[in-house]
Amino acid sequence: MTKFAMPMLAGASVLFAMPAMSQTSDPAPAEDTKGTFSFVLENDWFGDQDRNYTNGFRLGYLSAPKNAQWVDSALANLFTKEGEAATIRRGFAVGHSVFTPSDISETDFIPDQHPYAGYLYLEATSLIETENAIDQVSVRIGQVGKSAGGEWLQEEFHSLISDDLPLGWENQVGEQFGADLIYDRRYRALANFGNSDYGVDLVPNAGFTLGTLNTNARAGLTARFGNDLKNDYGPPRVRPSLAGAGYFTPDDDFSWYVFGGAEARYIAHDYILDGSLFDDSDTRSIHTERVVHDLQAGLVLQWNNTQLSLTYVERSKQFEEQTTPQRFGALGWSIKL
């Protein structure tokens, strides 16, 4: 892991050196007593493509605010110095992602295209909430390979929509179980126009992932315009992504906003593209791009206890042999229960 030490230390130093940004909004209202369920579906059909990262979904839950205790209190002390005074939300998620080459009609291995892969994972999260920022710590365990079910899921979906079946799944990457530690910090600076609820805000974020399947450092910024922006930090997404915090706190029957953002990531290791950390013979025939960026724009609508989000994403090349950027869409649905 030595070759990953410098990028991770640099990313961590940026996170803790960033000063808190001022904001005019209050913390989550006291009446926020319900948890948030969220479901996200991402697919490159929305970008008129069928290649590379082709499909992903994530089903998650984040609790209502709780008092910090035990591990949560220790994390709050580590990241915010507020300990038991911080507000905690606890959550979990299950997700799945599918990757394929550009030519899914070829049965033989294609050396210059993205390998076939399925990735199935579980995630546990603690979200530490203070007046000016949130810190999110997650542990994710996952399985890549045939047992992750990527082949079955893609074939069933293509059969459902009467599309061509992918023929090269016999060449998918080998089995690998792994765990990742994920950390993100988000700030919010909110400015309202006049006395109305309409405004603009900027949501900076920075973080890192350290593990056996994924290791990266990242930073991004989202700009939003609409009303009741204090209700959330942006829509949910499937990682890696420029995502919100995973919850919303409605205080009106209806609200909306439009958003646009960008995130850059330094990729120190990606098992699907690079091969195993522990097996020198497990290498890929493509060359990973170490710096990847996402550009995204979309719309969020909220009515009562339900929120709907639409996001369009353009992701830069993830490996040198890739001929075009990745384009895909994300549909998110969240509900307070």
For residue range 208-226, list pLDDT tens digits in order.
Answer: 999 999 999 999 999 999 9
Q: The domain spanning residue 114 has which CATH number? A: 2.40.128.140
Q: What is the C-alpha separation between 315 and 138, in angstroms, rounded?
A: 24
28 belongs to a structural domain: no
Q: Is pLDDT larger for residue 300 or for residue 1?
A: 300
pLDDT for the residue numbered 16: 40
Q: Is pLDDT larger for residue 72 or for residue 61?
A: 61
29 belongs to a structural domain: no
Q: Residue 290 pLDDT > 70, yes or no?
A: yes
Secondary structure (DSSP) of 63-101: PPPEE--HHHHHHHHHHTS-GGGSEEEEEEEEEEEEEE-
**DSSP helix/strand/coil, 46:** helix
23 belongs to a structural domain: no
pLDDT for the residue numbered 137: 94
225 belongs to a structural domain: yes
Q: Residue 8 pLDDT > 70, yes or no?
A: no
Range of weakest confidence among 16-30, 177-191, 266-280: 16-30
Q: Residue 15 pLDDT > 60, yes or no?
A: no
pTM value is 0.88
pLDDT for the residue numbered 13: 42
pLDDT, average across residues 3-26: 40
Which residues form the domain of 77? 2-15+35-336
94 belongs to a structural domain: yes
- Structural domains of the chain, count: 1
221 belongs to a structural domain: yes
pLDDT for the residue numbered 81: 66
27 belongs to a structural domain: no
Q: Residue 17 pLDDT > 60, yes or no?
A: no
Contacts of 101 (CB under 8 A, 6+ apart): 51, 52, 110, 113, 114, 115, 116, 168
